[in-house]
Structure 1
Amino acid sequence: MTIGSHLEELRGLPVFEFPEPGGTVPLPEPEAVAWRLSGPTYRDGDEEDWPEIFDRFLATVDTRRVRSLVVGGWEDAYETDSSAIVARLIGANNRLTGLEALFIGDMTFEDCEISWIQQSDVTPLLAAYPGLRSLGVRGGSNLAFPPVSHASLEHLVVESGGLGADVVRGIAGSDLPALKDLELWLGTDQYGADSVPGDLAPLLAGTHVPALRRLALRNSVIQDEIAEAVSGAPVVARLEHVDLSMGTLGDMGAVALLGGQPLTHLASLDLSHHYLSEEMQERILAELAPHGVKVLMDEAQEEEDWGGGEMHRYVSVGE
């Protein structure tokens, strides 16, 4: 699977594409939408690049009332990282005084494949916007996220085909007392994923995320090991939603998950895109569904034979 569509909403607001110059599309009220600013990743001729679009946005919209912002594509995103965009956003923090939600890298595969998107250190944005409640990033290449403290952040999502261990450790070690929803696409070693379950230990202990209610550790090539780590994690006792979807979860991981601490308090358990046997799927439903847990499971994926009897599993999103 690849990323085939752009975001349609961000933090409850519909995404509105900031129009090209000279357009006749009426602009909505600044606080009513999530403004999407996107330039061509393959720029041709006199097309506006992202900085020019951003300058025009600042000059056109009452940015003091803007609550939500989506950064789409930028020129040569497959080889030029997001650091210049991060710097521009930081420099505009005195203009975007009401910003609550920010997503960087809203690109489809036609714009730039997820594992080709070049990111950078995004944590200075958190210092620049102490009132930010939602931060999303797509793309793990060159992404940096050293441990930070932020009092207001409630939702953090990092989508990748492969997330580096240093990023995982940085997020896991961050002090985020307001965080309610954390979603990490851990990915595959084919695209840079090199974390191990131990890198998640501070997060799974729950000490620095006392408000966490949804934990999504998705798209992992080591989903069985992740499931085993989650099975004994102290943080699970206060979660409402656990998401282990999009990865290579098989019976071994499911046995560990069911054999750990009780999951019957959950509102939902998402295991979509899995490699579970029919017997295991039935067991999961039998143990959790009677307690009101909404279990999300689609049809099992099929392992592929690489020859010599070696079977291989795929994550949902890689390249």
Structure 2
Amino acid sequence: MTINEHITTFAGLPVVTFDPSTPPTDPAAPAAWRLSVTEDEGGDAFAELAAAWLDVVDPTSVQALVIGDWGEAWDRAFPVRVLVDAAPRLTKLRAVFLGEMTFEECEISWILQPDVTPLLAAYPHLEVLRVRGTSSLELTPVRHAGLREFAIESGGLPVTVTRALADSELPACTHLELWLGTGDYGRDTTVDELGPILDGSRLPALRTLGLRNAENADEVAAALATAAVVPRLDTLDLSLGTLTDTGAAALLAGQPLTHLRRLDLHRHYLSAEMTARLPAVLTGVEVDVTDRLEADEYMGRYVAVGE
């Protein structure tokens, strides 16, 4: 799997790309505005685009923002100060996606991200934050009372980010999604480092947990078999990784999962027998076991998104 298409909706709104040469007919229309420049523009092009956008739209009407390429994203981190400085004007901003780029624009492992802590501080009412790419990504432990959905898409999740997240207090967060990735692309997050997250004590509202794109999916599944957070979940997502019968058997042998509404395991390496067994055993649960793969003769098992 590669990230080869742009999203068309975000936070329940249609994505509309801002083009300064074609001003929108309705600057206050509900939309998830997409701001993106080309790699060739670079320099201050993104800041200039954002300034032009703020002068055209009604900033007080903006609810969602999708940030694409900020110009040579492989060479410079997103200029988070642009959004921090705009916070007094973007009073209704509730959702932000940083780095919504296809692999043709920038491979996920190349995307340089900033310290996102100032963004969370500037927008205390932010409800959704999705970040694609973790190269240079930083996070300081925070308490954010408004964030309901936090997702980090990664080819390899750094332990520094995992530890900061584990030490953060997100009392309203109902959806946490981490793409763990592989060691080849920067993952040094171990299952042990996920312990405070699996404990769930600082995530009292959590209902959806995604530990996706994991090279160590079997180990993750084994940890979830006894994790304190699982009985509170509505949805558990282990998709896009290298899950085998070993991990699936650990899930089935652990604590009950029949309370779940959905168990997402799509894009996996389960046997045909286990693929059939899981939905049969977990009756009443929507179990997604589509996209079954066989280990490659040369590459073995690999995650969906790495480079």
Q: Which residue is equivalent to 1:167?
A: 161
Residue of structure 2 aligned with 1:148, choices 126, 130, 142: 142
Count of matched residue pairs: 307
Amino acid at match of 1:313: R
Q: Which residue is equivalent to 2:25?
A: 26
Partner Cα distance (1:188, 1:41) in 2: 27
CA RMSD of the aligned region, Å?
1.5
Query: Compared with structure 1, are the counterparts of its residues 299 and 34 closer, same or farther at alpha carbon in structure 2 (3 Å cutoff)?
Result: closer
Amino acid at match of 1:75: G
- Native 8 Å contact 1:39 1:49 kept in 2: yes
Amino acid at match of 2:242: T
Give 5+ residue unaligned stretches, structure 1: none
Output aligned runs, 1:66-77, within 5 Å. 66-77=62-73
Instruction: Kindly state the Cα deviation for residue 64 of structure 1 after the two structures are TM-superposed.
Output: 1.5
Residue of structure 2 aligned with 1:57, choices 53, 59, 67: 53
Residue of structure 1 aligned with 2:39, choices 34, 38, 41: 41
- Native 8 Å contact 1:123 1:145 kept in 2: yes
Instruction: Kindly state the Cα deviation for residue 24 of structure 1 after the two structures are TM-superposed.
Output: 5.9
Instruction: Kindly state the Cα deviation for residue 73 of structure 1 after the two structures are TM-superposed.
Output: 0.5
Query: Compared with structure 1, are the counterparts of its residues 293 and 74 closer, same or farther at alpha carbon in structure 2 (3 Å cutoff)?
Result: same
Partner Cα distance (1:125, 1:216) in 2: 23
Query: Normalization by structure 1: what TM-score?
Result: 0.93
Partner Cα distance (2:24, 2:201) in 1: 48
- Native 8 Å contact 2:151 2:176 kept in 1: yes
Q: C-alpha deviations, 1:241-295, integer Å up to 9, x for none?
A: 000000000011111111111000000000011111112122212210x2x1000
Query: Compared with structure 1, are the counterparts of its residues 25 and 125 closer, same or farther at alpha carbon in structure 2 (3 Å cutoff)?
Result: closer
Residue of structure 2 aligned with 1:296, choices 288, 292, 305: 288
Partner Cα distance (1:198, 1:2) in 2: 28
Amino acid at match of 1:111: E
Q: C-alpha deviations, 1:74-120, integer Å up to 9, x for none?
A: 111111111xx211111111111111111110111121111111111
* In the alignment, structure 1 residue 238 sits paired with structure 2 residue 228: no
Instruction: Kindly state the Cα deviation for residue 43 of structure 1 after the two structures are TM-superposed.
Output: 2.9
Output aligned runs, 1:95-110, within 5 Å. 95-110=89-104
Partner Cα distance (2:40, 2:171) in 1: 40
Q: Any idea what SS the aligned residue of 1:132 has? A: coil
- Native 8 Å contact 1:41 1:112 kept in 2: no
Identity across the alignment (%) = 50
Instruction: Kindly state the Cα deviation for residue 194 of structure 1 after the two structures are TM-superposed.
Output: 1.1
Q: Any idea what SS the aligned residue of 1:127 has? A: helix
Q: Which residue is equivalent to 1:5?
A: 5
Instruction: Kindly state the Cα deviation for residue 230 of structure 1 after the two structures are TM-superposed.
Output: 1.1
- Native 8 Å contact 1:39 1:50 kept in 2: yes
Give 5+ residue unaligned stretches, structure 2: none
Amino acid at match of 1:218: R
Partner Cα distance (1:140, 1:109) in 2: 14
Partner Cα distance (1:119, 1:109) in 2: 16
Instruction: Kindly state the Cα deviation for residue 20 of structure 1 after the two structures are TM-superposed.
Output: 2.9
Instruction: Kindly state the Cα deviation for residue 27 of structure 1 after the two structures are TM-superposed.
Output: 3.5
- Native 8 Å contact 1:269 1:296 kept in 2: yes
Q: Any idea what SS the aligned residue of 1:115 has? A: helix
Q: Any idea what SS the aligned residue of 2:50 has? A: helix
Superposed structure 1 runs of 4+ greater than 4 Å apart: none
Query: Compared with structure 1, are the counterparts of its residues 24 and 146 closer, same or farther at alpha carbon in structure 2 (3 Å cutoff)?
Result: closer
Partner Cα distance (2:135, 2:6) in 1: 20
Q: Which residue is equivalent to 1:80?
A: 76
Q: Any idea what SS the aligned residue of 1:305 has? A: coil
Q: Any idea what SS the aligned residue of 1:53 has? A: helix
Partner Cα distance (2:88, 2:155) in 1: 34
Q: Which residue is equivalent to 2:216?
A: 222
Q: C-alpha deviations, 1:153-188, integer Å up to 9, x for none?
A: 000111111111111122122100000111111111
* In the alignment, structure 1 residue 314 sits paired with structure 2 residue 307: no
Partner Cα distance (1:152, 1:17) in 2: 27
Query: Normalization by structure 2: what TM-score?
Result: 0.96
Amino acid at match of 1:37: L
- Native 8 Å contact 2:23 2:56 kept in 1: no
Amino acid at match of 2:19: P
Partner Cα distance (1:243, 1:234) in 2: 16
Partner Cα distance (2:297, 2:164) in 1: 36
